[in-house]
Every structure is written in structure tokens, then in C-alpha cells.
Amino acid sequence: MSGVVLDGKKINQDILNDLRPRIEALRAKARAPSLAVVLVGNDPASQIYVRNKIKACQDLGIRSLDATPSAEIGTQDLLGIVRRFNNDPQVDAVLVQSPLPKHIDEREILLAIDPTKDADGFHPFNVGCLVANWPAPRACTPAGVIEMLKRYQIPIAGKRAIVVGRSDIVGKPMALMLLHENATVTICHSKTKDLETECRRAEILVAAIGKPALITRDHLSPGVVVVDVGMNRLSDEPEVQRLFAHDARRIAAFAKNGSTLVGDVEPLAMQEVSAAYTPVPGGVGPLTIAMLMANTVRLAEQHLA
């Protein structure tokens, strides 16, 4: 028996539809919310992601500004772009797309973003607000996961939640958000001993470690809710055949494209063992964009109050 599919595309649309009347109210009162995106260089994955963000803005009626400096830009010049958006009263939210070129001081750029315009929720001030459970922009991907669990009416309070991965972008904020929802939370990572045993304790398992199909059937207990944050591109044919032998459409798409996406959890195991799970793609990914829009609207409401 397969688990229930947690459809990120549906929840994305539900969140965006909830934002529409709030955006209209802002337009009627003063102006549309606005998001400024800084994309350095021409990384293909970043370009696609930024394009999706801009499209979401256009669909909702959010004003989108973008700066696209070359990969050769220095830290000081990039700081100048960030400060220009900080100082523009027409800009509500600022996002600097990562990864940045290695010669740029990423920490300095992050610290330069006005915390009241921090679209991603990554500024240390806002991370501190998350720790204290004070209102502030939240990291988009884990905030989207919480939103999805709530909208599917999956209980969190009192549940044993295991987060695999400790990144500043997903793992750490995910653990804090689950804790604020009264889950009992364990964080696992590359130095965790006996990962299988730890994961089997989970009633909610969030995999965000960035390694294709690292979590196998041996890691999952029957009835677990699996949230697979991983987005790993596979081009190794034997590995694709092994992971997707059950999925003729995926094999055919791989034969056509030469690669396919897989999460951090073995797909068939996740489907067969879980009570509910997020597919890859189409699970967590769409939620990140939706929560970025939600952060932008919330910041605009604060600026225009």
C-alpha cells in the first residue's frame, strides 16, 4: 500500500491564492509589494530558480526588480547593489541568490541585507528571532514544510521528528520550526552513529542531506511521514535503473534527457513504507517559491502599515 502523496504543487497554489487578496489590499492602500533579486553570474540552476521566482511575482502582481552583475564583480561592488535596494523605500524584500562566486565574501553580503527586507530569513538577526520564536522572516524551505504538514492536517505536536542534515538553509531552521510546533526533535548528520537506528525512531522524517537515495528502506519505519528535501541530479544509468525500475515513465524520461532528479530517500521505499511522503520533483520544491512570496507580502504589510 502506497503512502499519501503530499502534493507540493497543490499547496503552492493554495498558498499563492491566499496571498492574492492581501496583495490587492496593499495595492489599493499604497502600492504592490516588491521583491529585489540579485543574481551574480550565469549559473544555470540559479538562473532557472530566479526565473521561477520572477514568474511567481508576475503571476501574483508583485513588483520584481533584478540585478544581474557578472561573476567578476567584487564584494564591495556587490555590497553597493545590496545597499541600494536596502535604501529604496519602494523595495520590501531583498534576495541574493546563492551560491556566490568563491572570491565574494558571502558572509559580508548576508550581513549587509537589511533584516527587515530579508526575503530568505537567513540574516543572523532573523535566525535569532527564529530561535526565540519571535515574528520575523523564516527560511522558505522549512517554513514551506511546516505549512504543508499543517494543510494536510498531519499532527506535529508530540511526534518524534528526525531531521537528517544540519545546514543553515534547511536542517537547523527545520529542527527549530518543528520544535516550536512541539515535536520532539533529533538532528542527524554525517557524524551520527548508526543513522539507520536513529531514523527508524522517526514518526516524521525530514531528509535534507544532499546525497541521492542515502535513506533506504532500512531507515524507515512503517507509517512514517517522509519529507524529502533532496534534489540530486543523477546521470548514472545503472543507478537510475536500480532506483526507478518500478517507474517506466521515469526510465523513459531518463533515456530522453540523460539525467533525472532523485531525492535523499530511496523513492520506492518511501512510497511503500510511509503513511505520507513528498515526491521529487513536485514535493518540497514548489513550497520554497510560495513561502518566498509569503515573506515578501508580509514584509510589505509591515512597511506599509
∠ Cα 139 289 22 (to 5°): 90
Residues 157, 181 contacting (CB under 8 angstroms):
yes
The pairing of beta strand 34-38 with beta strand 63-67 = parallel
| Cell numbers that stand for 115 in this block | 533584516
Indicate the length of the chain as a whole number.
305
Q: What letter would DSSP give residue 97? A: P
| Cell numbers that stand for 78 in this block | 556587490
Return d(Cα 49, Cα 269) in angstroms, integer: 29
Residues 53/58/62/65 CA torsion (nearest 10 deg): 60
Neighbours of 142 (CB within 10 A): 30
Q: Among all residues, which ones are annotated catalytic?
A: 53, 97, 120
Closest alpha carbon to 1 in 259, 271, 188, 239? 271
The pairing of beta strand 232-234 with beta strand 260-262 = antiparallel
61 CB-near residues (< 8 Å, 6+ apart): 20, 23, 24, 27, 32
Neighbours of 158 (CB within 10 A): 10
For the residues of 12-67, what is the DSSP string, one character each?
A: HHHHHHHHHHHHHHHHHHT---EEEEE--S--HHHHHHHHHHHHHHHHHT-EEEEE
Closest alpha carbon to 13 in 170, 147, 125? 147
Map grid coordinates 534534489 to a residue.
231
